[in-house]
Amino acid sequence: MGLEIRVGRLDHKVAEVFATEEPRGLDALVFEASNVRFQTVCMEAAAAHGVARLVEPLTERLVEPGYKVDALDYWDTYPVSPSEFRKASRQAEFVERVVGTQPDLVSELVAPHFFADGPETLELNQALAGMTVQAFRSSGKPVRAILSLPRAMFADIDFVRNVAGAYRAIGIHSIDLRLSPLGGEDDGPQKIESALQILEMFRTEGPPTILGYQGEIGHTALALGLVRGYSTGIGFREGFNHSLAMNRQRRSQSQTGFRGVTPGVHLPVADVTVQRALANALYNDPSIQTRLACSLGACARDLHAPTKHPRPHFLHSRTARVGDLLQYPEPWRATAERNRLLGATEFRQKLNEHHIPTYGDSVKTRRIPTRTIASLIAAIDRRSNDAKTA
Ligand SMILES: [Zn+2]
């Protein structure tokens, strides 16, 4: 139970050191299939320190051009089309090639999947997941399925019940549920409530659920006991938007060379990840910098460590938040989460009113949103009122 961290292409050294510290709140490291070959030492460190290991197969990205596939031998021609997998024999071959390459060091196997934009792809995903359970039973390892789909497809809650039940019936050990578009700091009450209701249905009818790429909503869902955990990248991937990711992938096709992702900087108390330029300005503002100090790890000795080394800072901040929550007995977690969200709201408002720098781009676009956390507070209140009147 806890946080799953997706290890990006440049993250393995930082993640390796972090795993050896056996941080509270860290549940799993998720490696990208295309990077596994040079990240095995990090995977070993996780194994030695009791952190679960999984491989993100990246299959949902192969249906669009622009993905560098030279490290993956999943299929003979790219982009692949889900319609190529109508026959069970083709499905079996795909399962073998995707799952068979996941190294022995993984603690859980991950079935191939495609973005489920309709009933056919949804059924194909279930077939691939079921086949993975069957084909790899002798490995003795549990199987995870990834269900990545438009949130709007789950508008009908009876449909959610059927899908969740189908995954449980297949014998899936855990499901990584990615709802698109969702997450970030600017979601309103309708979206938040719909996401939480979907998770409630998965809790009763489906396998244990990980809410994929939801740094903010995932934490509240964990506090409400709706999920086994949630995932983020290191300083990014705190929300999920499939069509945006695909647009970016198509655009990157025309560019050459790898461009690394600049991780955002996590601000303590405000509990939000912001762009580095804004973080630099705030950490250089004498009237607020001590409030932004981080007391964890190497940050305790250097006020500016969060902006200098955003990755280790992100890792200890985000996992400590989970560790702190899980220390509470279950019935107290929602209240603890409400208090954290309130504190974050107040501090963000203070930053917005007095400390957001006015130079450069407009102040308005740099203000730290509070819409998602306000919606989460309302959702917690609604549930505690329901519990009182029940
Ligand atoms: Zn720190």
State the distance from the centre of ligand 1 to the C-alpha of 198, rounded, in angstroms: 34
Q: Can you read off the two tokens belonging to residue 69?
A: 């596939």
Residue 302 CA to ligand 1 center (angstroms) comes to 9
Centre of ligand 1 to C-alpha 271, Å, is: 12
Cα 105 to averaged position of ligand 1 atoms, centre (Å): 29
Record the tokens describing residue 251, joined without a space.
Answer: 């655009």
Which of these, 225, 212, 146, lies nearest to 183 by C-alpha position?
212
Residue 194 CA to ligand 1 center (angstroms) comes to 33
| Structure-token match 């405000």, residue found | 270
What is the pairing mode between strands 174-180 and 209-211?
A: parallel
- What the block records as the tokens of 27 is 């549940």
The dihedrals phi and psi of 12, each to the nearest 5 degrees, come to -65, -30
Q: Round to the nearest angstrom and report the end-to-end CA distance of the chain.
A: 28
Q: Are 221 and 201 in contact (CB under 8 A)?
A: no
Centre of ligand 1 from the C-alpha of residue 365, in Å: 26
Cβ(230)–Cβ(218) under 8 Å? yes
Instruction: Count CA atoms within 13 Å of residue 74 on its CB side.
Output: 30
Residue at 278: amino acid letter:
L
Instruction: Print pLDDT tens along the chain (390 aa).
Output: 999 999 999 999 999 999 999 899 999 999 999 999 999 999 999 999 999 999 999 999 999 887 777 788 899 888 999 999 999 999 999 999 999 999 999 999 999 999 999 999 999 999 999 999 999 999 999 999 999 999 999 999 999 999 999 999 999 999 999 999 999 899 999 999 999 999 999 999 999 999 999 999 999 999 999 999 999 999 989 999 999 999 988 887 655 444 556 889 999 999 999 999 999 999 999 999 999 999 999 999 999 999 999 999 999 999 999 999 999 999 999 999 999 999 999 999 999 999 998 766 565 568 999 999 999 999 999 999 888 887
Q: What is the Å distance from ligand 1's center to 234 Cα?
A: 13
Cα-to-centroid distance, 326 and ligand 1 (Å)? 20
Dihedrals φ, ψ of 317, to 5°?
Answer: -65, -50
* Ligand 1 geometric centre to CA of 301 (Å): 10
Q: How far is CA 140 from the centre of its chain?
A: 26
Whether 211 and 228 have beta carbons less than 8 Å apart is answered as: no
For residue 228, report the distance from its CA to the centre of ligand 1, in Å.
25
CA 108 to CA 95: how far, in whole Å?
A: 15
In the reported structure, the alpha carbon of residue 23 is separated from the centroid of ligand 1 by a whole-number distance in angstroms of 13
Which two structure tokens, joined as six digits, stand for 174?
A: 């855990």
- 8 A C-beta contact, residue 322 and residue 3: yes
CB atoms within 10 A of CB 381: 12
Paired tokens of 235: 């300083």
pTM above 0.85, yes or no: yes
Residue 326 in contact with residue 2, Cβ under 8 Å? Answer: yes
Q: What angle do CA 3, 7, 11 make, to 5 degrees?
A: 125
Task: Quote the CA–CA distance of 367 and 351 in Å, as a whole number.
Answer: 8
Instruction: Give the tokens for residue 9.
Output: 């292409």
Tokens encoding 203: 């809790």
